[in-house]
Amino acid sequence: MGPDVPLLNDYKQEFFLKRFPQTLLGGPRFKLGYCAPPYVYVNQIILFLMPWVLGGVGTLLYQLGVMKDYYTAALSGGLMFVTALILQMTNLYAKQKTVTVERMQIQNTLTDEDEFEFSSCVGSETVKFIIPGKKYIINTVFHSLLAGVLCGLGTWYLLPNRITLLYSNIGGTVMIFVFGWVTICIGEYSLIINTATETATFQALDTYEITALMRPFYIFVFIAVDLAHRFAVNTPILEQTNQILHIIFLFLPFLWAMGILPPLDALFLWGMEQLLEFGLGGSPMSSNTKLLVMFLISAGTAIASYFIPSSLGVILFMTGFGFILSLNLSEIGFAFKHTMISHLASSKSKNMHRGLRIQFGWREFIFYLTVLTFALIEASLLHQFAGFSSFSKASPQAIASYILIILLIIMWILREIQRVYLFGVFRNPFYPKDVRTVTVFMEKQRRLMKVGVVRRILLTLVSPFAMIAFLSLDRSLQNLHSVSVCIGFTRIFRMVWQNTENALLDIVVVSIAQMLVFNPDLWWNRSLDTGIRLLLVGILRDRVLQFVSKLQFAIAILLTSWTEKKQRRKSTATLITLNVVFFPILLTFIAISALLSSPLLPLFTLPVFLIGFPRPVRSWPGPVGTTACVCSDTVYYQQMVPSLALALQSALAAGSLGLSLPGSHYLCRFQDRLMWILVLEKGFTYCGVNIKGLELQETSCHAAEAHRVDEIFEMAFEHQEHTRILSPNHHFGHILTPCTVLPVRLYSDARNVLSGIIDSHENLKHLKDDFIKVLVWMLVQYCYKKSKTWESPGNANINKKRSFPENQHSSAVERSRPLREEDSFSVDTIEDWTDDSDIFDLEPSGRMKDRKEPGQLGTTPKVRLSIPGSVETQTQEVPQEMSAEDKLYRAVVLGLPAVDKGKQQEVLPQVEFSCSYSELLSIPEEWRTAPVPSSKVNEMRQRFPEEWYHFILSQLDFFHLKEKPSNLLEDLMKDKALKDLYIHGVLSCCFGLFGLDNTVPAPSHVFRAYTGGIPWSVGLDWLTSKPELFQLALKAFRYTFKLMVDKASLGPVENFKELVNYLEEYENDWYIGLVSDLEWQQAVLQEKPYLFSLGHDPNMGIYTGRVLTLQELLVQVGKLNDEAVRGQWANLSWELLYATNDDEERYSIQAHPVLLRNLTVQAADPPLGYPVYSSELLHLPLF
Please count the other Cβ atoms lying within 10 Å of the Cβ belonging to residue 1106: 15
User: For 475-479, 515-519, 826-830, which range has the lowest pLDDT when averaged over its residues?
Assistant: 826-830
- Per-residue pLDDT reduced to its tens digit, 668-689: 999 889 999 999 999 999 999 9
More confident residue, 961 or 270: 270
- Per-residue pLDDT reduced to its tens digit, 1038-1059: 999 999 999 999 999 889 999 9
- Rounded CA separation 924/869 (Å): 6
Please count the other Cβ atoms lying within 10 Å of the Cβ belonging to residue 126: 21
Amino acid code (one letter) for 497: W
Determine phi and psi for 743, rounding to 5 degrees: -75, 120
Beta pairing, strands 1090-1097 & 1070-1073 = parallel
What is the average per-residue pLDDT within 197-202?
93
Amino acid code (one letter) for 175: M
Between the CA of residue 131 and those of 92, 125, 190, 647, what are the distances in Å?
10, 10, 11, 58
What is the average per-residue pLDDT within 1108-1120?
94
- Rounded CA separation 103/576 (Å): 47
Confidence of residue 444 (pLDDT cuts 50, 70, 90): confident
**pLDDT over threshold 90, residue 818:** no
More confident residue, 744 or 904: 744
Please count the other Cβ atoms lying within 10 Å of the Cβ belonging to residue 352: 12
- For position 95, what pLDDT does the model report? 85
Please count the other Cβ atoms lying within 10 Å of the Cβ belonging to residue 721: 9
What is the average per-residue pLDDT within 459-487?
90
- For position 386, what pLDDT does the model report? 76
User: For 4-8, 308-312, 608-612, which range has the lowest pLDDT when averaged over its residues?
Assistant: 4-8
- Per-residue pLDDT reduced to its tens digit, 518-545: 666 676 677 788 899 999 999 999 999 9
- For position 1059, what pLDDT does the model report? 94
Confidence of residue 863 (pLDDT cuts 50, 70, 90): very low
Confidence of residue 137 (pLDDT cuts 50, 70, 90): very high
- For position 908, what pLDDT does the model report? 52
**What does the H/E/C string look like for 173-239?**
HHHHHHHHHHHHHHHHHHHHHCCCCCCCCCCCCCCCCCHHHHHHHHHHHHHHHHHHHHHCCCCHHHH
- For position 345, what pLDDT does the model report? 63
Amino acid code (one letter) for 366: I
- Rounded CA separation 898/761 (Å): 37
- For position 924, what pLDDT does the model report? 84
- For position 988, what pLDDT does the model report? 86
Confidence of residue 790 (pLDDT cuts 50, 70, 90): low
CA–centroid distance for 724 within its chain: 41
- Rounded CA separation 39/37 (Å): 6
Task: Classify burial at 525, counting beta carbons within 10 Å of its beta carbon; exposed 0-12, middle 13-18, buried 19 or more.
Answer: middle
- Per-residue pLDDT reduced to its tens digit, 338-347: 778 877 764 4
Confidence of residue 910 (pLDDT cuts 50, 70, 90): low
User: For 165-179, 419-433, 783-797, which range has the lowest pLDDT when averaged over its residues?
Assistant: 783-797
- For position 847, what pLDDT does the model report? 36
More confident residue, 478 or 317: 317
Smallest CA-to-CA distance from 7 within 1133, 1127, 1145 is with: 1145
| DSSP category for residue 477 | G
- Per-residue pLDDT reduced to its tens digit, 488-520: 999 999 999 999 999 999 999 999 988 887 666
What is the average per-residue pLDDT within 351-360?
47
- For position 786, what pLDDT does the model report? 85
Mean pLDDT of the chain: 84
What is the average per-residue pLDDT within 612-640?
91
What is the average per-residue pLDDT within 1167-1171?
91
Determine phi and psi for 1051, rounding to 5 degrees: 110, 165
CB 1107 within 8 A of CB 1090: yes
- For position 831, what pLDDT does the model report? 36
- For position 557, what pLDDT does the model report? 95
**pLDDT over threshold 50, residue 897:** no
- Rounded CA separation 949/533 (Å): 86
What is the average per-residue pLDDT within 248-271?
95
**pLDDT over threshold 60, residue 836:** no
Smallest CA-to-CA distance from 568 within 558, 578, 579, 577 is with: 558
- For position 1099, what pLDDT does the model report? 85
Smallest CA-to-CA distance from 644 within 678, 668, 626 is with: 668
The percent of residues in the chain predicted with pLDDT above 90, rounded, is 52
- Rounded CA separation 1048/940 (Å): 26
* Angle subtended by helix axes 583-596 and 530-563, to nearest 10: 130
Amino acid code (one letter) for 376: L
| DSSP category for residue 723 | T
What is the average per-residue pLDDT within 576-598?
96
- For position 104, what pLDDT does the model report? 45
Torsion of CA 35, 38, 44, 47, to 10 degrees: -170
Confidence of residue 893 (pLDDT cuts 50, 70, 90): very low
Confidence of residue 701 (pLDDT cuts 50, 70, 90): confident
Determine phi and psi for 666, rounding to 5 degrees: -130, 150
- Rounded CA separation 72/81 (Å): 14
Please count the other Cβ atoms lying within 10 Å of the Cβ belonging to residue 373: 11
- For position 387, what pLDDT does the model report? 62
- Rounded CA separation 274/259 (Å): 20
Confidence of residue 1075 (pLDDT cuts 50, 70, 90): very high
CB 926 within 8 A of CB 873: yes
- For position 872, what pLDDT does the model report? 40
Bridge partners of 240, per DSSP, are none
- For position 840, what pLDDT does the model report? 35
* Angle subtended by helix axes 572-581 and 583-596, to nearest 10: 80
For the entire predicted model, the pTM comes to 0.85
The percent of residues in the chain predicted with pLDDT above 70, rounded, is 85
Helix runs in 445-529, H state only:
446-457, 463-472, 483-498, 500-516, 523-526
- Sign of the dihedral defined by the CA atoms of residues 250, 254, 256, 262, in that order: negative
